[in-house]
Structure 1
Amino acid sequence: MRTMAPTARLHQEALQFRLILAATYPFFLAAAAFHRLSPGRAAPRVGVPTPHRSIFGEARAMAVQAIPFAFMG
């Protein structure tokens, strides 16, 4: 039985990660936009700095946090 070289396996996993990111990004973008525009969103507190991330950056961060669960198991 022939196994894959470690670099080839890492390259394949990186490619799979990018494909899953590209496939799921629109869903996370919609979720980030909905969260940003929802009326029940908490107002920022006075004196507490809030990170100003774009909707696109927020969607990417959500996707990057969620996708590794697809590779578990």
Structure 2
Amino acid sequence: MGAVMQRSMPAASRLHSEAIQFRIILAATYPFFLAAAMVQRVRPGQAPRRGLPAVRRSVFGEAKAMAVSAIPFAFMG
């Protein structure tokens, strides 16, 4: 049982390290995604799609969603 605990510790440590790296990258890239979200709001948008309700997040929520969807690509490879 002790051997199982020792094997899982490096995996837990690695997950913790990756979580910290994700937060650092999120903090570093968030301003760029915030600027992109602001630009999207200012420029004329596309016509709304028919049949789908218009869901609009805050600019900050949109920036976080863009960052969270793009950052995993940094961990690929």
Q: Which range, TM-score by smaller chain?
A: 0.7 to 0.9
Point out where structure 1 has 5 or more consecutive residues left out of the alignment.
none
Moved >2 Å (runs of 4+):
43-48
2:42 aligned with 1:6, yes or no? no
**CA distance, structure 1, for counterparts of residue 13 and residue 62 of structure 2:** 31
Report % sequence identity.
Answer: 68
The number of aligned residues is 69
Give me the CA root mean square deviation: 1.6
**CA distance, structure 1, for counterparts of residue 48 and residue 42 of structure 2:** 14
Q: Which has a greater percent of helix?
A: 2
TM-score of the aligned structures, taking structure 1 as reference length: 0.85
Report the structure number with the largest CA radius of gyration: 2
1:36 to 23, 38, 41: 41
Point out where structure 2 has 5 or more consecutive residues left out of the alignment.
1-8
Residue 67 of structure 1: aligned partner: 71
